Amino acid sequence: MPDLLTIEGLRAGYGEAVVLPGMSLRLPESQVLALLGRNGTGKTTLINSIVGVTRRFGGSIAVGGRDITSMRPDQRARAGIGWVPQERNIFRSLTVEENMTAVAQPGHWTVTKVFEMFPRLKERRNNFGNQLSGGEQQMLAIGRALTLNPKVLLLDEPTEGLAPIIVEELLKALGKITRSGGTCSIIVEQNAQKVLGLADRVVILERGAIVHDAASADLKADPAVLERYLGVSAKV
């Protein structure tokens, strides 16, 4: 499978601080990558660097073979970066449908397709963003990112603060989205147990560097790795 995301020697951070000292990472089509690590290890910085909101000191980023390193965040979105930030950042004064049509680009993921994936959004299509529950807002944030028809979907703590039944629904949808083709996903998650069943591959960061990169199934079979780097067990 062709690589949809290619990161080579990325040095990035904030101000004069370098958080990622030399990140290299490749993601092929249809792969779900779980990005794990303790707080402050560079997970969100990596996501933000792909989006284009950190300071780059060196290295490159390409999406679908196209170099996006010098692009602004809005240009990166048009080039294939879909971002669901931890804060969701939905347009609270717009309706559910308006949130998606405001950013939509031509492609497979239309508003109708998003409504098929998340039926409760269809039920609330005329509700304003500030009238939705936390779970509905997260569905809308994902749906809005999808209508950009991204090649790379980035999700920062997508299940935080949500009820278990909503978490299950979201993770199931994310698996379908990525494996439908044409997309790869990076999911930042504090709780490894939530994403090991969804992810194909797991990368663990420490001090802005990759210290473990393996198939999710391998990590399940060797819970000592999670205990070593995260202080938790892979067992549910």
Rounded to whole angstroms, how far apart are CA atoms 116 and 147? 13
**Are 174 and 76 part of one and the same domain?**
yes
Residue matched to tokens 């402050």: 40
> Is 58 in the same domain as 110?
no
**Domain check: are 32 and 76 in the same one?**
yes
Claim to verify: residue 219 and residue 180 sit in the same structural domain: yes
pLDDT of 22 over the 60 cut = yes
pLDDT digits (tens, 9 = 90+) for 182-200: 899 999 988 788 888 899 9
Whether 55 and 114 map to the same domain: the answer is no
pTM: 0.93
Interatomic CA distance for residues 163 and 189, integer angstroms: 15
154 occurs within a structural domain: no
Residues of the domain holding 19: 1-80+170-236
What are the start-end ranges of the H helices in the chain?
A: 43-51, 73-79, 96-101, 111-117, 119-123, 134-146, 164-179, 192-195, 216-221, 224-229
Say whether both 212 and 104 belong to one domain: no
User: Parallel, antiparallel, or unpaired: how do β-strands 152-156 and 81-84 relate?
Assistant: parallel
**What is the tens place of the pLDDT at every residue in 122-166?**
999 999 999 999 999 999 999 999 999 999 999 999 988 888 888
Q: 216 and 112, same structural domain?
A: no
Separation of alpha carbons 144 and 100, rounded Å: 5
Is 53 a domain residue?
A: yes
- Is 114 inside any structural domain? yes
In which band, very low, low, confident or very high, does the pLDDT at 236 lie, cut at 50, 70 and 90?
Answer: very low
pLDDT digits 0-9 by tens, 44-82: 999 999 999 999 999 999 999 999 999 999 999 999 999
Domain count, the chain: 2
User: Do 74 and 100 fall within a single domain?
Assistant: no
Residue 48 lies in a domain: yes
Q: Does residue 159 lie within any of the structural domains?
A: no
Judgement on whether residues 232 and 200 belong to the same structural domain of the protein: yes
Encode burial over 202-232: b for 16+ CB neighbours within 10 A, e otherwise.
bbbbeebebebeeebeebbeeeebbeebbee
Residue 64 included in any domain: yes
With contact defined as beta carbons under 8 Å apart, do 178 and 76 qualify?
no
Whichever domain contains 23, its CATH number is 3.40.50.300
Is residue 226 within 8 Å of residue 192, measured between CB atoms?
yes
Same domain membership, residue 63 and residue 92: no
Q: Would residue 158 count as lying in a domain?
A: no
Pick the closest to residue 159 from 191, 199, 201 (CA basis).
191
Other Cβ atoms closer than 10 A to 107: 13
Task: Please check whether residues 122 and 61 belong to one and the same domain.
Answer: no
Q: Is residue 163 part of a domain?
A: no
Q: What span, in angstroms and rounded, lies between the C-alpha atoms of 176 and 187?
A: 14
Q: For 215, phi and psi rounded to 5 degrees? A: -65, 145
Instruction: Judge contact between 11 and 22, C-beta under 8 A.
Output: yes
**Residues 57, 91 within the same domain:** no
